Amino acid sequence: MRFLSQSEKIMNNPCVRCGTQRIDGKSWEEKSGTVVVTCTQTVCPDAECQKILDQINAERIAKNALIVKNRADAKLARGNAR
């Protein structure tokens, strides 16, 4: 039995919006303690689709940040009520 190396593995990573196979857009290395991790950002090959996905992700991040802020404000208000 032969095992495939990381570069030989075929990854199935379809775009969540249009379904086409995503491609590697940017790769970088990060050091975490003594381990070096290679990160790869994948993008949709259709530029218009990727712009829409970036906008959706930005809206989702902003919404999550607002939820976290509201929770912190509510916790602080409960603490001051005592």
Burial of 44 (0-12, 13-18, 19+ CB in 10 A): buried
Q: Average of pLDDT values for 9-24?
A: 87
| Residue 19: predicted pLDDT | 92
**34-67: pLDDT as tens digits:** 999 999 999 999 999 999 999 999 999 999 999 9
Q: What is the pTM of this model?
A: 0.67
Report residue 4's pLDDT band, with 50, 70 and 90 as the boundaries.
low
